[in-house]
Structure 1
């Protein structure tokens, strides 16, 4: 990267329930203190700007649902393959652009659901899906730079059930029980934190992060911040 500053692009938008502006604002001071030159935008058209992507060393995306054009996702895939890092949390990366199979392949995991409380405990609000659950580190996760030194921890928030493939390196998992009010018949384990190599680029996904208080949990915040650093373009990918 020669002597220029490391450049980060923060793309935020989509469903407002995940507070994309406030959520990404939590991490801007970390990036700036780390020497990143930060650009913030709400327009996915930036992904189709090949020159801008070539200058970008890290993309932090927080865009739940929404849509993306074919040339934009093509540009994103090309940028990551060329060495641009790509990271995010919760629906901002694992539930983005549902209609784009090319995006889903890039990320390697897609939100399917977040199971609810038992029916008699549901009141019709978002808290119906706030379940106590554990984030459990894998053997790889206990050694990986993003998660080394962290202990398994509990959260009471949305627990993401993720459809995934085996190209990803899973650093942490979460297990969904099989209560009688749901139709599945045995516990199901989903990746909760994973990395993925794509060409010369690195991808990091953390599924916890539904609300600001979850993002401020010390372990969640540590994973996201370390993930930003790890995903950032390395000198060998310049």
Structure 2
């Protein structure tokens, strides 16, 4: 007989579940982030279509760039790849190449929305639980080092992806919500404040360890 629906919608054509669960630490934080992202994109395709008609290439590039960064943080790789192509076309002001991608963008966003609807908590894979207790000193120092690197990059208007990934692997997802929201919106000053807050919190736990003060200096 025909295959029934899978026990969980592991549709890697829309999202990389393994990466998403690793980044966010669980199904519900990941789904909440997807829902927030979709809420922010309401009417976005029509907005981009109008910007193309107006020839406002800088606004198009900036908008698509922010969306691409958010899609990457949400493990929505196919959407991220599409947005990367759109950013390339906007940079080169290639209307003939960009316009056909707008319907594809609408479809890709609809696919994320459909995945969100079908990924009920009882039907999705679970991530390994993150420890609720304090991190061991060695991991605390690793997190501080990664936060230091991330903070230095943010001061330069950049995102240090390896450092960010290390922070996400070491720290519980609930503690990173504010930081990831700021990064999704490319609000680097707010993200830097979040990095400093996290660093200060960790430093108080490892104050008696050597090399503990690795956080960005004010």
Comparing both structures, which one devotes a greater share of its residues to strand? 1
Higher radius of gyration, 1 or 2: 2
Structure of greater relative contact order (alpha carbons < 8 Å, 6+ residues apart): 2
Fold match (TM-score > 0.5):
no
Q: Higher helix share goes to which structure?
A: 2
